[in-house]
Chains A and B, each alone.
Chain A
Amino acid sequence: METNAWKVMWREIRHDKLALLGLILFVVTVVTVYTWALTIDQSAAAIVNVRNMNQPPSRTHPLGTDPGGRDVLEQLVLSARNSFNITFIMTIAGAIIGILVGLLSGFFGGHLDNVLMRILDFYAMFPALMLIIVFISMIPSYSVVTFAVLMIVLWSWQGTARLIRIKTLQQGALDYVSASKTMGTHPLVISFREVLPNLVSIITSNFTLNLAMNMGVETGLTFLGFGLPFATPSLGRLIAYAQMPANMTNRPWLWLPAALLIFLMMLCVNFVGQALNRAADAKKRMV
C-alpha cells in the first residue's frame, strides 16, 4: 500500500474543518496582501501630511490615519507584506539549514555529529533573543537584510536541526538503509534521496509551526524597536503605537487591526500545522 506523504497531509487537512478554514483564510490573506501591496504607490503612501494626523476611520480612510497623516489601511497592507516577507525568508532559510545540519549529523554521526551537537548545546544556553537585540543596537545602519541574517543564524534553524537529527537516527536503524548500504549506494544518495523523502511530513509540519512562531517573534522584536528597521512599515511597528497611552485608549484604529491580523494569521497557520503534525504520526491520524 503506497501512500504519498502529500496525499496523507492533504487528507488530514481536508477532514479537519478548522485546518481547512485556516489554510483557505491564510492563502487568501497572503494573496490579497501581496497583490494589494503592488497597487499601492509606496513613496506616496509614506508622505507625511500633518493636517490629516490621527483621524478616526472615515469613508476616505477606512481605518483612519496615523500620527503622520498616512492612511492606516495602506500602512497595514504594506506592513503585512513586509512582515510576511521576513517571516517566510527566515523560516525557509531556517528549514534548509536545519535539515542539512540534522540530516548530516544524524546520518554520518562520528566527529561531524559531535562538533555540530556541541554547537547546538552552546545555542541552547544562549539567550538568543537578547543577543539579537544587542547586535541590532550595535550595527550602525542595519537594514532588512542584516535583520534577516541575524534571525536566520541566531534563531531559526536550531529546533529543526535537533528534530531532523533524531528522526534521521531512527531512520538510519531501519532495514532499507542497511540494505542500501550493503548494495554500495553512496551515503549522500542514501541520506538525501532515500532518508529525506521519508521525513517530508515531519519537515512540513515543523515548518508550519515554526512559521507561526517566527511571525510572533518578529512582531515582538519589532514592537520593542529591535526588529525591522524604522523606515520599513511592519505589523510590530503599528502595534507599538499602543505604547503611548493616548494612542492605546483613544486611537485603537492605529494598533488593533495589526494586532488582530497577526493573531488571526498565527491561528490559521497553527491549525494547519496541528493537522500536519497528526498526519506525520500514523497513530494520531484522524482519517
Chain B
Amino acid sequence: MWKTILRRVLILIPQLFVLSVLIFFLAQFMPGDALRGMIGPDTTPEQYAILRQIHRLDDPWYVQYGTWMEGILARGDFGRSVTHKRPVTDIIGERMMNTVRLSLLTTLFTYIIAIPLGIFAAKKKDRFIDKSIMFYTFLALSMPTVVFSIINLFIFGFRLRWFPVRGSVDAMAAAGTLEHAVSRLHHLVLPAVTFALLSTISIIYFLRNEIIDYDASDFVTTARSKGVPENKVYTGHILRNALLPVAGNAGLIIAGLFTGSIFIESVFAYPGMGQLFVTSIVGRDFPVVNTLIMFYAILTVVSYLVTDILITIIDPRIHIK
C-alpha cells in the first residue's frame, strides 16, 4: 500500500507544477503593478527603477516564475500582498484559522445531523419518516448555498437577532477571555449550521443504503438465525459496518467545505480564506490569489489521498491503486 501512496504523491508533483505555471502565467495578464505593495507616494522614479531591478520585474515571465518558485521552495516565501503590504503567508495564516474553525464546526454539525437521519431513514424504510428525510435531502440538494445563507441570515440574523450578522468575533471582547471565546462561537454557529444542513445529503444517502444492504446480507441473516438479539445485530453487525466508511469520508467533506467557503464566507462577511480570495480578486492582489489557489489544490489532493488511505485501513477488502 505504501508503494501506491508514494506513487500517487509522485504523480502530484507534475500536476502541481502545471497548475502553478498556469496560474503564474495568468497573473501576467492581470492589470496592476506587482510593486504596489512596496512603493509609497514619495517613491522617486529612480527608486522605482531600482526596485524593479531588485525584484527582476523586467525579466521574462518564465524567469520570474523560477525566482518565485525558488522563494517558495528555499525560504517558504510566497511574496508580498499588494493591498495589505505584508507577506502573503502572514495574511493567509491569520485567515486560515477562521476557515479551519468554521470547517471543523460544520463537519461536526454535518455528522450530528446526518448520522441519526440516515439511521432513521433506513430503519423506517419507505415509511413516512423515511419519505420526510428523503424530501429534506431534495430540499438541500436544490438549495443554492448563497440562497440558503441569505435566507437564514435574513431570518435568524436580521429579523430574530439571535446571531450576529457579520464578522468572526465581537471587536469589544478582549482576546484570551471567556467572553472572546463565546463571542467567536456565537459568530460561527449560524454559518456552520447553514452549511451543515446543505452538506448532509451524501452521508444520509450513503448510510441509508449501506444499512439497507447490510440488513439483507448473509452474515446478518446468519446472526439473526443463531438467535442474536435484534438490537445487538443492529449495533454490532449492521451499524458497525455501515458507519466506518462514513467516518472515512470526512476528508472529502472537509475539502468540499473549503471550496464552499468562498460562497458562505462572502454572504456572512466572515473573514476566512474564501472571503480573502474574493476580496483579493477584486483588489487585483495576485500574490495572495496565486497562493490561495495552490493551497486549495494541494488541500483537495491531500484530502482525496487521506480518504483513500483511511478507507483501506477501515476496510481491508479495498485496495487503492
Chain A residues near B (Cβ < 8 Å): 121-122, 124-127, 129-131, 133-135, 137-138, 140, 212, 215-216, 219-220, 223-226, 236, 239, 242-243, 245, 248-249, 252, 255, 259, 262-263, 266-267, 269-271, 274
Residues of B within 8 A of A274 (CB): 138
Q: Contacting B138 at CB < 8 Å: which of A124, A127, A219, A267? A: A267
Expressed in whole angstroms, the minimum distance between the Cβ of B156 and any Cβ of chain A is 12
CB-CB under 8 A for A239 and B266, given A126-B297, A138-B29, A274-B138: no
Most chain B beta-carbon contacts within 10 A, residue among A127, A220, A224, A262? A127
Q: How far is the CA of A125 from the CA of B296 in the complex (A)?
A: 9
Q: How many residues of B contact A (CB 8 A)?
A: 45
Most chain A beta-carbon contacts within 10 A, residue among B18, B138, B158, B300? B138
Chain B residues near A (Cβ < 8 Å): 11-12, 15-16, 18-19, 23, 26, 29-31, 138-139, 141-147, 150-151, 153-154, 158-159, 165, 259, 262-263, 266-267, 277-278, 281-282, 284, 289, 292-293, 296-297, 300-301, 304
Q: How far is the CA of A249 from the CA of B159 in the complex (A)?
A: 7
Residues of A within 8 A of B281 (CB): 133-134, 137, 226
Q: Contacting A267 at CB < 8 Å: which of B142, B151, B300? A: B142
In the complex, the answer to whether A129 meets B262 with C-beta atoms within 8 Å is yes
Q: How far is the CA of A266 from the CA of B151 in the complex (A)?
A: 16
Most chain A beta-carbon contacts within 10 A, residue among B159, B281, B301? B281
Q: Who on chain A is nearest to B165 by CB?
A: A245
In the complex, the answer to whether A127 meets B142 with C-beta atoms within 8 Å is no
Expressed in whole angstroms, the minimum distance between the Cβ of A258 and any Cβ of chain B is 9
Q: List 28 A-B contacts (CB under 8 A).
A: A122-B15, A125-B12, A125-B19, A126-B19, A126-B297, A130-B277, A130-B292, A133-B262, A133-B277, A133-B278, A133-B281, A134-B281, A137-B281, A140-B31, A212-B142, A219-B146, A220-B263, A223-B263, A225-B282, A226-B281, A239-B147, A239-B150, A248-B154, A249-B158, A259-B150, A262-B144, A263-B144, A267-B142
Q: How far is the CA of A253 from the CA of B31 in the complex (A)?
A: 37
Q: How far is the CA of A59 from the CA of B52 in the complex (A)?
A: 63
Residues of B within 8 A of A219 (CB): 144, 146-147
Residues of B within 8 A of A129 (CB): 259, 262
Expressed in whole angstroms, the minimum distance between the Cβ of B146 and any Cβ of chain A is 5
Residues of B within 8 A of A223 (CB): 146, 263
